[in-house]
Amino acid sequence: MASTNPSTDWLQGLADIEWPAAPDWSLFYLTAAAITLVLGAIVAYSIWRWRRPARRVDRHVLALAKLAALQTNWQRGAIDDRAAAYQLATILRLGLGLEQLTTGCPDLPHVSPTAWRTMIALLHRYRYSLQAPDKLPAAAFASIRGWLQRATNHGTAA
């Protein structure tokens, strides 16, 4: 019988061991590629949104649409004269691009100072009196509509 050397037997036993297979990194690479693709798409979309011109609705056109809706609701009786006067003042102020409604006529070529002061006094009377003196005249809607339409045509306060 051949004698075995105990110091090399265990080493010979290790030589028969197979190393485990290399890890499969394909799932990691696939996930990393998907994340990179999604982040790239988000960045591209953000840049596209930032660079394109914003769609702006002309304030006069928006004010005219709100004025038409207000007049319809007022005529149906859905809102009273006081609420209509408040909304008319807001539509007039925002539609002409004014910070505040004052009795001083704004620098707009299509607004006469006398008509302006009359309208502001009318709105003031309906907004701040306890009892409205009479029915809000429909001419107030027509005057404000005319000013907003002329402002749209002249391109002022845009």
pLDDT digits (tens, 9 = 90+) for 93-138: 888 888 888 888 877 777 888 888 888 898 888 888 877 668 888 8
**pLDDT confidence band for 157 (50 / 70 / 90):** very low
- Looking at 5-9, 78-82, 98-102, which range is the least confident one? 5-9
Note whether 69 and 132 are same-domain residues: yes
Give the C-alpha separation, 96 to 67, whole Å.
13
Note whether 133 and 69 are same-domain residues: yes
Residue 32 lies in a domain: yes
Q: How far is CA 22 from the centre of its chain?
A: 54
Note whether 70 and 123 are same-domain residues: yes
Whether pTM > 0.75 for this model: the answer is no
Of 65, 84, 63, the C-alpha closest to 73 is 84
DSSP 108: -
Residue 10 lies in a domain: no
Residue 1 lies in a domain: no
Note whether 47 and 83 are same-domain residues: no
Note whether 87 and 137 are same-domain residues: yes
Q: How many domains does the chain have?
A: 2
Residue 29 lies in a domain: yes
Note whether 35 and 64 are same-domain residues: no
Q: Angle 148-103-141 (CA atoms, 0-180°, nearest 5)?
A: 35
Tokens 């485990």, located at residue: 20
Q: Which residues constitute the domain of residue 141?
A: 59-154
Give the C-alpha separation, 94 to 113, whole Å.
19
Residue 91 lies in a domain: yes
Of 62, 74, 83, the C-alpha closest to 141 is 74
